[in-house]
Amino acid sequence: MRLVPIVSVAAALCGCAPEFPPMATGLAGDHAFKARIAQTHGPGSSAGRLREVLVGEGFTVLFDPATRFGKALFRPQNLPCYGETRIDWQEDRRGRVARIQAQRQDCT
């Protein structure tokens, strides 16, 4: 079963509701997204696997090996509104997630 993100009235009326990647979908919005990320890609999990999943779902992934900080961003295109999903993380020397933060903003 695929859950559909909540959309603003303007996006629904224009027929251009944002398409968030599977990782970021759900009816409960930002809070549920943060909990899902913490559970599936929390500290101690494979950072390489996290990057693979993000790229596979269409995120733009930036990673700085010198600082071991990564950032992934997904913005639905061609909308009359702004929506974004963002994940920031830091890796330890073993390639594991040390810290991770996530934020999802539905079309506003």
* Cβ proximity of 97 and 43 under 8 Å: yes
**What pLDDT does 103 receive?**
87
Tell the burial category of 60 from Cβ atoms under 10 Å away from its Cβ (0-12, 13-18, 19+). exposed
Percent of the chain with pLDDT over 90: 43
**Two structure tokens written together for 78:** 């061609």
Query: Tell me: the pLDDT tens digits for 37-81?
Result: 888 899 999 999 999 999 998 899 999 999 999 999 988 776 667
**What pLDDT does 38 receive?**
86
**What pLDDT does 58 receive?**
87
pTM summary value: 0.70
**What pLDDT does 19 receive?**
61
Q: Is 90 exceeded by the pLDDT of residue 22?
A: no
Identity at 66, one-letter amino acid code: A
**What pLDDT does 72 receive?**
95
**Two structure tokens written together for 64:** 């700085």
12 contacts: CB under 8 Å, gap ≥ 6: none
**Which residues are paired to 73 by β-bridges?**
60, 86
Which sign does the torsion angle of CA 1, 19, 83, 68 carry?
positive
